[in-house]
Amino acid sequence: MTTERRLEETSDFRPRFDGSGLLPVIAQHESTGEVLMLAYMNAEALRLTIDTGEAHYWSRSRSTIWRKGETSGEVQEVVELRIDCDQDALLMIVRLKGNGVACHTGRRSCFYRSVHGNMLRFAEIKD
Amino acid sequence: MTTERRLEETSDFRPRFDGSGLLPVIAQHESTGEVLMLAYMNAEALRLTIDTGEAHYWSRSRSTIWRKGETSGEVQEVVELRIDCDQDALLMIVRLKGNGVACHTGRRSCFYRSVHGNMLRFAEIKD
């Protein structure tokens, strides 16, 4: 069995962090299925997330771990954590606490604009 | 207005590729909302995706652009492309052609295992 195939079919959790020690994490809304944000975890943020059941990310701009909602109150409770075939990306199903806002701009999702050629249109976010 | 705030509120499409010239892309199923995969695009793959309306990715292992479905037939038709607040991640809503399989292991989604401590459980994928 190749290394690749072992990663795909194993029951062992072996997250593969990138050269910077990070793993991309997709946060998805538990009930609506809406994709809320893409962020990163290092090994410590992942451990804290699993141990506490609340999303912890690595801030690449501030080079620090942050507990999501620490200042805003917009805590993300982990409902389920999934890993992809080659174990280098996570999908985290979350329950939104606070006001149900995941984006720091105050919008529920960070993906509030759609691409049309070289322009963006602000997308309607349904409640 | 800060650079950050300009990126968040502009209508100009200014994707921010990382140090390797890549942007992470989340592919989400058009009708079920299922998160199918996380892959990467460089500027050329993004251009091809927009021009053809079909997903093109950058393969980090093979260092080449691949049109999704080129060999498998599992083409991803782009329904909508969204960018996040700071323009360094894409969300692509796709319609699956072929047999409706996004993962190269033959599963619909790459996220077929959930994390339980140090172990993974194979998740049921609902049809």
The CATH-assigned architecture of domain A21-122 is Roll (3.10)
Alpha-helix runs per DSSP H in chain A = 3-9, 43-52
Would you tell me which residues 48-67 of chain B have a C-beta closer than 8 angstroms to some C-beta of chain A? 50
Quote the strand ranges of chain B, DSSP E.
23-29, 35-41, 56-59, 64-67, 76-83, 90-96, 113-116, 119-122
Report residue B123's pLDDT band, with 50, 70 and 90 as the boundaries.
Answer: confident
- The β-bridge relationship of strands B35-41 and B23-29 is antiparallel
So what's the ipTM on this one?
Answer: 0.95
pLDDT greater than 90 at residue B110: yes
Report residue B11's pLDDT band, with 50, 70 and 90 as the boundaries.
Answer: very high
Using CB atoms, pick whichever of A10, A24, A111 lies closest to residue B91. A111
For residue range B53-83, list pLDDT tens digits in order: 999 999 999 999 999 999 999 999 999 999 9
Domain ranges of chain A: 21-122
Using CB atoms, pick whichever of A24, A83, A113 lies closest to residue B24. A24
Predicted local distance difference test score (pLDDT) of residue B3: 83
3-state secondary structure of A10: coil
Give CA–CA dist B75/B102, Å, rounded: 9
Strand (E) or helix (H) holding A56: strand A56-59
Predicted local distance difference test score (pLDDT) of residue A125: 66
Predicted local distance difference test score (pLDDT) of residue B127: 53
Residues in chain A predicted with pLDDT less than 50, given as ranges, are: none
| B3-99 has CATH 3.10.20.810 classification | yes
Whether residues A82 and B118 touch (CB distance < 8 A) is answered with: no
Whether B84 contacts B23, CB under 8 Å: no
Predicted local distance difference test score (pLDDT) of residue A74: 97
Give me B29's structure tokens.
């199923």
Which chain B residue has the Cα nearest residue A48? Answer: B117
Give CA–CA dist A120/A50, Å, rounded: 36
Give CA–CA dist B124/B111, Å, rounded: 10
